[in-house]
Amino acid sequence: MNVVVLMGRLCADPELKYTSANIPVCSFRLAVDRAYKSGGERKTDFLNVTAWRNTAEFVSRYFKKGQLIALEGSLETHTYTDKEGNNRTAYEIVANNVHFAESKRDNSNSAQPTRYNDAPPAAFSNTDTSDFQEIVGVDEDDLPF
């Protein structure tokens, strides 16, 4: 089983590009704090993440540097030979689903939708959302987040 679940802050604005077949791909770096013991020093891991298709477009549209993001995906490894002829391995997270991890009020400078009842962009994950119904007429002060 290859499942990665992370929550962290974007180190820079996500970078959206397109393949030669016009498929959207978004790359970003995520700073994820490690759990630490009492009295221990806090450590942070910086992880490379890639999102494809609708997920890539969603991330590039709604997330900016410094925002907290939660994601579910998988770990991929890539082996290569460096300039000195040494074999190297690179690790990358491929995001399948991404979620806002802080409320709109916590990050007022963000490019998130202006209302919570906005319809989600196309589909923001690689899963089918046709079973969900839009909730309209909800006052954002009544929301638990």
Q: What is the pTM of this model?
A: 0.68
CATH number at residue 43: 2.40.50.140
Work out how many domains the chain is built from and give that number: 1
The pLDDT score that the predictor gives to residue 118 is 33
Report the chain's C-alpha Rg in angstroms. Answer: 18
pLDDT digits (tens, 9 = 90+) for 67-87: 999 999 999 999 999 999 999
Does 103 have pLDDT greater than 90? no
Domain around 11: 4-142
The pLDDT score that the predictor gives to residue 138 is 58
pLDDT digits (tens, 9 = 90+) for 33-71: 988 766 778 889 999 999 999 999 999 999 999 999 999
Any idea which of 7-11, 33-37, 80-84, 122-126 has the lowest mean pLDDT?
122-126
